[in-house]
Chain A
């Protein structure tokens, strides 16, 4: 089992947070109180993040209708912060995202943003880089699925490879 050392501030956040569940993980305080050892929820350890999305089924070829829907939502709610290249603007560029992150992680990040930023170490690393909290854009689960499909298409077009993180 992988163990991580989190800064104190993160423990405090997760202890008082009423959002979401820890998914079976357990946090312990050391005697000195300065370091925290934490057993992360299994979904985080599996790289799926934390949230309502636990299992995403993918067809091999991106579904064209879903890609189109996903692009429309991306244009309206995401494009001002995420470019389709590897350029970081406010948030990271989307190029290659499906090769870095599991589909569950991507959809949890979209639909369960605040909890992800509070609990998922990968999401926290991105926050440290970007220094702007990703807003909760109130994207519905179905819409998040369409966005995922759009991101797979984007990766296929730009890098010739998708779903590299599965």
Chain B
């Protein structure tokens, strides 16, 4: 309950209210009618917390952003598929392996669908998964640290758009190839698409204790475009549903050639059956190459492993595993309601939306009510599987989420609106304008068995008219609606990183209590950790030099280092000795060609520095950590290649002692080489 009155009543021309009811193809006036208490509903007083975490994919930034709801405040950006100079992710020696792929080091991607881990069809707040669309990958973020801890490449697919949809006990992440390609890759004319191109649907299994991903099997499908998926829940648990477009198998000018047919297809997969086939050895092993990158929990170091084999299931060898059912023209979204009984298949070029009934689909399968087959896959009779059609709800239906009261909410890209309708009786209940062209929308828990239908966030593709202009490019817009009443109510616009593709939102109390405040320094198993200032040292191994450095308010140790030479590879291993919440230390050195480090309390991170010129170079902490932060700095002396300046280091009075140690070190080295 809020005790404060917010006097921010926005008075607007109410004539616009009528406009919102009209479905128009043109863009409506961007002025918004909102009721007087909207500002109060999203106001979170200083010191108070938001009710939900919302995780938005960064789209082409390749990252994830974390917002509080209802305030729309940006809480954090989590780097996933792109290097991030703010904390050295993808630049530090520990995190570089996260970007290894069969194509080499790929420091960017296009992140699309956020999936939170589930138990019994409810979010459990442990992990978050997101796909890399361009270089097909799935990443796992640990929600105790909000750090990316694993990235798994998916082989032999292209445009991993249809990913990574989770099953209700986090058994699998299902994904499908958006573009079919030759499998295995080969040099063939593109117009041999029909003969040579195939599509794979992929199942990644999850270790239930650690969340570790493994590519369990792939299903080889006809060469269509697999676009979006959802897994069954409750009654339909054990099944996956994927929309496919381009059943025409066109390969050029798809905007015309892939929208010839009145109906495309939805693929329906019995993954429990697929599991049985895998156990029975009904797969073929095919050599391939993909990378699995995993962060070690105790060292914080990522390791890459190249995987060289994949297991393929073929529908013709595995009866009763895969079916198709027709779906209106060029479908996109494919969403399952909280009961698991209804599946919404939107044809984005059709004015109607098909809603399927899981029990009717099962009955049709049982009765073999098929209209032929495609490459050995039975096509279920459309009418037999249909619950009903939502007629002309708007233009360009894309995505649907649900509340716990039997309602569905669908975004309409072309008519720029969100439409609320009743799933059971297919009655349209309400519509609200968005600005403009919404893609995905999210309701906290809206894809689970337990939605919390209080708020809805629509993510829009076009933002003009909403914020102060910033050149041709504008921040994308997210719009927050209150959906707790009969009518939806717009509460807030907030800008996002472009392009927020999809989001999931979870009640804050499922994540907040597990949030790590620091890393126990006693558990730091990094091989270059320095667990105490007395253990700081500098070690030369040929032209590699390892600096074991510690950071503490307000100094780095050692802070004077001599004996580096041009051409050395210098590894600064910085251990933050603090054990206090929110006190990272940074490390930056002049002439570094990669980035800085941001080291969390109790952590060790490594920056590679390759001095190119003779001189004395400053290094310093980048995170303002105390009143004496500016003083948290030091110098590195670089001598010419072959110079006889000994390696020595120190902090204040201990510098001389270390000179002795340095001399001893060289003595021993000489004795060894004799």
A interface residues with partner B (beta carbon < 8 Å): 75-77, 79-81, 89-90, 131-133, 135-139
Contact = CB atoms under 8 A, between A and B. Distances in A.
Contacts of A90: 552-555, 628
Interface stretch (B66-74, B263-271, B578-586, B641-649): B578-586
Interface residues of B, number: 25
Given A75-B531, A80-B557, 11 more contacts: A75-B532, A75-B534, A76-B522, A77-B521, A79-B533, A79-B534, A90-B555, A131-B628, A132-B554, A138-B518, A139-B579
Nearest to A135: B580
A8 B193 CA distance: 79
A138 B554 contact: no
Contacts of B533: 75, 79-80
Contacts of A138: 518, 520, 579-580
B626 A76 contact: no
For the complex of A and B, list the 10 residue pairs with the smallest distance between their C-beta atoms, beginning with the closest: A75-B532, A80-B552, A80-B533, A138-B579, A76-B532, A135-B580, A137-B579, A136-B580, A132-B626, A76-B531
B456 interface: no
A90 B580 CA distance: 16
A79 B651 CA distance: 13
Given A132-B628, A135-B579, A81 B532 contact: no
Nearest to B556: A80
A79 B532 contact: yes
B627 interface: yes
B534 A137 contact: no
A93 to B, nearest CB: 13
B550 interface: yes
A90 B521 CA distance: 20
B321 to A, nearest CB: 53
Nearest to B577: A80
B559 to A, nearest CB: 11
Contacts of B532: 75-77, 79-80
Contacts of A75: 531-535
A136 B532 CA distance: 16
Contacts of A79: 532-534
Contact of B550 (A80, A89, A135): A80
B555 A80 contact: yes
Contacts of A135: 552-553, 578-580, 583
Most buried by A among B552, B555, B579: B552
A75 B531 CA distance: 8
A152 B26 CA distance: 81
Contacts of A76: 521-522, 531-532, 577
A53 B581 CA distance: 23
Contacts of A137: 578-580
Interface string B515-531: 00010111000000001
A77 B577 contact: yes
Contacts of B652: 89
Contacts of B531: 75-76
Nearest to A76: B532
Given A80-B577, A90-B552, A132 B627 contact: yes
Contacts of A132: 553-554, 626-628
A70 to B, nearest CB: 13
A132 B625 CA distance: 10
Nearest to A137: B579
B602 to A, nearest CB: 9
Contacts of A139: 579
Interface string B620-663: 00000011100000000000000000000000100000000000
Interface string B572-596: 0000011111010000000000000
Contacts of B579: 77, 135-139
A76 B601 CA distance: 13
Contacts of B534: 75, 79
A91 B532 CA distance: 16
Nearest to B535: A75
B631 to A, nearest CB: 10
Contacts of B550: 80
A63 B535 CA distance: 25
A139 B578 CA distance: 11
A131 B627 CA distance: 7
